[in-house]
Chain A
């Protein structure tokens, strides 16, 4: 059974930083593409970032480019999102998702970790 468990969310001041993590199990982690998708309270879904299985391809949404950094450790089956210079509009539930490498699809989702940006 695929399991994706996010952690690291919390309250941060505008301009601050936060690092999200996702622990993966139940599949061959190094073979799959991983994404972060976020959802602001009461709003729709927004794709944030993608990293390929061997980390050779990385993409970001324009809204986070230059501020967020995605990475993965295939030895530890873990995915991370380093979020810097946080803004109020970054407040959301952040989901870790997986799908076929480079496919741009979200086959499985974690339960999410909540990021609140407020002074």
Chain B
């Protein structure tokens, strides 16, 4: 099973700042890594798939990078609606499909 480790657990930033979230896989997942955003009381939403592809309707301030075992989600300039929990997920070796533990981006 591929274990995904996200860091940091919590990121405290102000609106307008740049957010950099990390996801590390226990073995290579090539580029088959997705990112999801979850706001309180809502279902998760797909942001990025296959490491760097933005899903439909996702603003350009969200970008993903990486391959193999190390991946990054970057939010170039935080908007108030971006404060949420972010999860990474791999699909290279499944079943099972696995998620990281999440990074909470909170307002500083």
Let me know if A107 and B43 touch, CB within 8 A.
no
Instruction: Please name all residues of chain B whose beta carbon is closer than 8 Å to the beta carbon of A44 when the two chains form the complex.
Output: 87, 99-102
Contact of B89 with A by CB under 8 A = yes
- Identify the stretch in B15-23, B44-52, B59-67, B68-76 within 8 Å (CB) of chain A at 4 or more residues: B44-52
Let me know if A95 and B102 touch, CB within 8 A.
no
Tell me if B's interface is mostly helix, strand, loop or mixed. Answer: loop
Let me know if A105 and B94 touch, CB within 8 A.
no
Let me know if A110 and B91 touch, CB within 8 A.
no
If A95-B43, A104-B32 touch, does A61 touch B95 (CB 8 Å cutoff)?
yes
- Identify the stretch in A21-29, A45-53, A82-90 within 8 Å (CB) of chain B at 4 or more residues: A45-53
Bound Cα distance from A105 to B49, whole angstroms: 8
If A104-B32, A104-B91 touch, does A109 touch B98 (CB 8 Å cutoff)?
no
Contact of B5 with A by CB under 8 A = no
Q: How large is the interface on B (under 10, 10 to 19, 20 to 34, 35 or more residues)?
A: 20 to 34
Chain B residue at minimum C-beta to C-beta distance from A110: B43
Bound Cα distance from A45 to B34, whole angstroms: 13
Let me know if A60 and B43 touch, CB within 8 A.
no
Instruction: Please name all residues of chain A whose beta carbon is closer than 8 Å to the beta carbon of B55 when the two chains form the complex.
Output: 107
- Specify which of B42, B87, B97, B100 is in contact with A104 (CB 8 Å cutoff): B97
Let me know if A106 and B102 touch, CB within 8 A.
no
- Specify which of B42, B49, B89, B95 is in contact with A50 (CB 8 Å cutoff): B95
How many whole Å from B8's CB to the nearest CB in chain A? 15
Instruction: Please name all residues of chain B whose beta carbon is closer than 8 Å to the beta carbon of A59 when the two chains form the complex.
Output: 94-96
Let me know if B46 and A45 touch, CB within 8 A.
no
Let me know if A45 and B99 touch, CB within 8 A.
yes
Let me know if A50 and B99 touch, CB within 8 A.
no
Chain A residue at minimum C-beta to C-beta distance from B50: A105
A residues apposed to B, CB below 8 Å: 35, 44-47, 50, 59-62, 95, 103-112
Instruction: Show 25 A/B contacts (Cβ-Cβ < 8 Å), sorted by A.
Output: A35-B97, A44-B87, A44-B100, A45-B44, A45-B87, A45-B89, A45-B102, A46-B99, A47-B96, A59-B94, A59-B96, A61-B95, A95-B44, A103-B91, A104-B32, A104-B97, A105-B34, A105-B49, A105-B89, A106-B36, A108-B46, A109-B43, A109-B45, A111-B42, A111-B43
